[in-house]
Amino acid sequence: MPTFRTTRPVKHSADQMFALVADVERYPEFLPLCEELRILRRVQSGEGIETLVASMTVGYKAIRESFTSRVALDHPRLQINVEYVNGPFKYLENRWTFRPTASGSDVEFYINYEFKSFALGLLMGTVFDKAFRKFAEAFEERAEIVYGEPSPARA
């Protein structure tokens, strides 16, 4: 059961980084392995939490897999929780946490997963591990494109 966790200081605000990660429809534009992402359902709560059910297709060379997740966008707590619904995994849990700092924010990314198929796990496990390690970097690069280089006044 592969697990990956990283906390990275970034120059953009916690709100900006939350918005960037919450914009799941854009993932195929910049996220490693992500080929397609479709929102199947979107529900707003009165507590500032939006819940999405989304289908993501990931691919590497000739292999394509799709899976469905429930994504809770908890803006008041600056947290995004992903809960696996169905697909090629036994389980998948993913969490993003955004903490304001004096110079921007700290972005924590956590993922824990296991493939149902041992063979698929062997085949894709290393690729997924490398991709997850690049996720935080991909979002930082995306922040530079979307928000620009932060000025000292914004940081």
Domains present along the chain, CATH in parentheses: 3-147 (3.30.530.20)
Name the token pair of 70: 């429930």
> Quick one: average pLDDT of 102-125?
83
Q: For 45, which DSSP code?
A: -
**φ, ψ dihedrals at 114, nearest 5°:** -150, 135
What pLDDT score does 33 carry?
84
pLDDT in tens, 8-20: 999 999 999 999 9
Write the Ramachandran bin of 25: left for phi over 0, alpha for psi from -120 to 50, otherwise beta.
alpha
What pLDDT score does 154 carry?
46
Name the token pair of 100: 């304001």
Gap between the Cα atoms of 31 and 37, Å rounded: 11
Gap between the Cα atoms of 33 and 61, Å rounded: 10
What pLDDT score does 152 carry?
56
Work out the pLDDT band at 123, boundaries 50, 70, 90: low
Write b or e for each residue in 106-144: b if 16 or more Cβ atoms lie within 10 A of its Cβ, otherwise e.
Answer: bbbbbbebebeeeeebeebeebbeebbeebbeebbebbe
**Amino acid (1-letter code) at residue 123:** L
Can you list the positions of beta strands (E) in the chain? 3-10, 34-44, 49-60, 63-74, 79-86, 89-101, 104-115
User: Residues 27, 124, 142, CA angle at the centre, nearest 5°?
Assistant: 20
Q: Which helix (H) or strand (E) holds 24?
A: none
pLDDT in tens, 16-59: 999 999 999 999 999 988 999 999 999 998 788 999 999 999 88
What pLDDT score does 151 carry?
59
What pLDDT score does 115 carry?
82
